[in-house]
């Protein structure tokens, strides 16, 4: 999944380097007043700006140099954050009841209230920080070890295992895919007890901040009550679910035809390992099997990028004098990968600058990690970082020359440009209007990467715009975008239930699969037990990153695109719109980004779209041609599914 290290920013926004112990900050305080509240927030912003790099530096180090030492440094920085967070929350409490505050001060105080949660006991803060660092390190260094074809021991990283699950040539058997799937998911088993304790500590902190549990606290950060937010996500899911249901039916029928009733039941759940993604969160790798009209309109971006990579390698080989050694060949392979990572990032930057956004700073190119190092483990999960709230921005992504990574770079630069646009705001407001906004920016840009646009930049040939080509293009995109929607919703559905006790520790895995069956209509490839901890095999669970933001982003990015196309003066079908080079659209986009979180998100949304409600209707409008095709193809088929008891074997 395309994501970034927004968890860092979201987590620390409530931190203030006020210093001192709680008893010291509370000693003989003056009576709270509007003026003292203003002064408190002003000091918070100054102190936080100074404090912030002392947290981001160790976090960056821990993600890009996974060692015991780097984890210890990151853990200590996290512990300091938790201490500062606790002190800030305590110091802010006297101001919450004031009625005569400036709107910006009242908003800042509320952001502190819903964003700062740290246990009051120093020992618990230390424990929470250590568990967090341990779980993230476990994910980053996870390996599946097996015997290779020659009987030798072989240990594979997540990236290597994903290449098996992707099943690009569709030749792997269901059993082979299940083995790889299980190999990665087993890496999460060691953190199951750690996660249970992590939730206990988080809930304790949330209760000290006045919330029933951490899930309720997370849902309180959307300018509405937690209950209203739960209702809002259900409303949005109801808008888009019919399209998902039709796509699920179509995909299941195709997989049934390939693998047979014994593997894929005609009216049941789809085995998760068959969907071309480790978590079955997006199914785009199945496109060759799902392509409605074979060969109509070239969409193979990966092949074009791979060819460019081979051309880079050929140039290096041609420049080498004599027969290259094994070491020299490895160096050339690494240099070819480096050249492609830079080229692909430049392609993404060019789209933003065509709209009027500034060029990325030189420090971005000097400090970003754009490829897998050969000498150490790193957390390859793509992420975007704002290191100092003042322009030191960078991404961490082990870029490979394929379509998914190209789109991921566009996504990550969306975060980067959001940072740059709102860096002028006080630190307390340097967030997205809500976290779904942050995730939607770069994905909105990718909606303009139409086949015609990709042909213009030399990544596909023979792009067409007839009815069959449109259906092919929409199918390819829907296999990424529409299939993600239920996954984007259920990850936090599970966590919220864990946090409020609806799913108890002894039912972690069963509860996980109940939700996956309910929302996605997928089943585990193998029987699961409570010795497993399958949620922990997804980065955002051990990384403690709230996930509903992605569900929201996949809805509002189409809403954003529609507004930008209108600003650009585009008159055709929404799926044909390409805003590349349109300064009017770029100006309106940047105006929204510059607001950060300085006002309630409905106000910021209205700045771009004219409306104050998130709306899934733009998705339905965008995919109208595909919806018609799917209904036609599914006519007479048994669609839908009934979910058996959780953790059952497929």
222 is in an annotated binding site: yes
Reduced to 3 states, what is the DSSP secondary structure of residue 270? strand
Are 284 and 476 a contacting pair, CB within 8 Å? yes
Rounded to the nearest 5 percent, the helix, strand and coil shares of the chain are: 60, 5, 35
549 labelled binding-site residue:
yes
Alpha-carbon span 164 to 150, nearest angstrom = 18
Provide the 8-state DSSP code for 369.
B
Other Cβ atoms less than 10 A from the Cβ of 456: the count is 13
What is d(CA 471, CA 451) in angstroms, rounded to the nearest whole number? 12
Q: Is the dihedral of CA 196, 197, 201, 204 positive or negative?
A: positive
Residue 445: name the closest of 309, 578, 626, 563 by CA: 578
Distance CA 647, CA 650 (A): 9
| C-beta of residue 502 within 8 angstroms of C-beta of residue 514 | no
- Tell me if 411 is assigned to a ligand binding site: yes
Decide if 73 contacts 131 (C-beta within 8 A). no
Q: Which residues are part of the catalytic machinery?
A: 412, 540
Q: How far is CA 352 from CA 108, 130, 417, 529, 629, in A?
A: 30, 39, 8, 47, 33
Question: Residues 468, 472, 473, CA angle at the centre, nearest 5°?
Answer: 115
- In a 3-state reduction of DSSP, which class is residue 383? strand
Structure tokens that stand for 524 in this block = 């585990």
Strand ranges in 76-179 using DSSP code E only, listed in sequence order? 144-147, 153-156
Q: What is the rounded CA–CA span in Å between residue 543 and residue 559?
A: 29
| Token pair in block for residue 93 | 């409490």
CA-based max dimension of the chain: 81
Helix (H, G, I), strand (E, B) or coil at 451: helix
Range list of H helices, 458-547: 467-500, 508-515
Angle, helices 583-593/403-422, rounded to nearest 10 degrees = 60
Known binding residues: 222, 411, 415, 439, 549
Known binding residues for Zn(2+): 411, 415, 439
């Amino acid at each position: 999944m395309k994501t970034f290290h927004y968890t860092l920013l979201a987590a620390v926004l409530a931190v203030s380097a006020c210093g001192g112990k709680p008893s010291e900050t509370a000693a003989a305080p003056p009576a709270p007043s509007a003026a003292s509240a203003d002064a408190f927030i002003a000091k918070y912003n100054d102190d936080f700006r100074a404090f912030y790099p002392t947290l981001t530096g160790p976090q960056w180090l821990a993600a890009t140099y996974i060692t015991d030492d780097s984890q210890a440094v990151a853990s200590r920085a996290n512990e300091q954050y938790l201490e500062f967070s606790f002190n800030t929350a305590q110091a802010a409490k006297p101001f919450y009841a004031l009625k005569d505050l400036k709107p910006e001060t009242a908003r800042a105080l509320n952001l502190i209230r819903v964003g700062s949660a740290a246990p009051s006991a120093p020992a618990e803060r230390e424990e929470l920080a250590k568990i967090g660092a341990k779980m993230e390190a476990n994910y980053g260094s996870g390996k599946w070890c097996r015997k290779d074809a020659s009987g030798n021991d072989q240990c594979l990283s997540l990236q290597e295992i994903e290449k098996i699950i992707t099943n690009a040539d569709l030749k792997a058997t269901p059993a082979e895919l299940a083995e790889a799937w299980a190999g990665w998911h087993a890496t999460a088993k060691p953190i199951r007890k750690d996660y249970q304790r992590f939730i206990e500590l988080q809930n304790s902190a949330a209760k000290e901040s006045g919330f029933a549990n951490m899930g309720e606290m997370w849902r309180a950060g959307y300018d509405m009550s937690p209950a209203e937010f739960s209702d809002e996500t259900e409303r949005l899911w109801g808008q888009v679910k019919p399209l998902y249901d039709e796509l699920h039916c179509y995909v299941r029928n195709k997989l049934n035809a390939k693998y047979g009733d014994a593997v894929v039941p005609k009216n049941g759940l789809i085995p998760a390992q068959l969907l071309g993604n480790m978590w079955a969160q997006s199914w785009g790798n199945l496109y060759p099997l799902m392509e409605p009209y074979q060969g109509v309109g070239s969409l193979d971006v990966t092949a074009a990028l791979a060819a460019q990579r081979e051309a880079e390698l050929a140039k290096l080989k041609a420049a080498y004098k004599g027969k290259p050694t094994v070491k020299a060949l490895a160096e050339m392979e690494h240099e070819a990968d480096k050249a492609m990572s830079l080229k692909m990032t430049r392609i993404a930057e060019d789209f933003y600058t065509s709209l009027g956004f500034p060029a990325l700073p030189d420090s971005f190119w000097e400090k970003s990690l754009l490829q897998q190092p050969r000498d150490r483990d790193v957390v390859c999960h793509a992420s975007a970082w704002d290191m100092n709230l003042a322009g030191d921005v960078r991404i961490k992504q082990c870029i490979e020359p394929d379509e998914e990574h190209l789109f991921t770079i566009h996504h990550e630069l969306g975060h980067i440009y959001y940072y740059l646009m709102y860096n002028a705001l006080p630190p307390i407001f340097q967030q997205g209007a809500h976290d779904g906004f942050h995730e939607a920016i770069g994905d909105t840009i990718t909606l303009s990467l139409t086949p015609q646009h990709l042909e213009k930049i030399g990544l596909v040939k023979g792009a067409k715009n007839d009815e069959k080509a449109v259906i092919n293009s929409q199918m390819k995109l829907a296999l990424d975008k529409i299939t993600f929607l239920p996954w984007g919703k259920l990850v936090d559905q599970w966590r919220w239930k864990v946090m409020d006790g609806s799913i108890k520790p002894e039912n972690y895995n069963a509860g996980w699969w109940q939700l996956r069956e309910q929302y996605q209509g997928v089943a585990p490839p193998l029987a699961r037990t409570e010795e497993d901890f399958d949620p922990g095999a997804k980065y955002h669970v051990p990384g403690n990153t709230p996930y509903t933001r992605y569900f929201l982003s996949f809805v509002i990015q189409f809403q954003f695109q529609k507004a930008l196309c209108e600003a650009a003066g585009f008159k055709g079908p929404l799926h044909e719109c390409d805003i590349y080079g349109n300064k009017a659209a770029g100006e309106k986009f940047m105006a929204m980004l510059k607001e950060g979180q300085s006002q309630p998100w409905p106000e910021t949304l209205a700045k771009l779209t004219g409306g104050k409600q998130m709306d899934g209707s733009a998705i339905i409008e965008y995919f109208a041609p595909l919806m018609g095709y799917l209904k036609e193809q599914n006519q007479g088929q048994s669609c839908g599914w009934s979910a058996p008891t959780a953790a059952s074997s497929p």
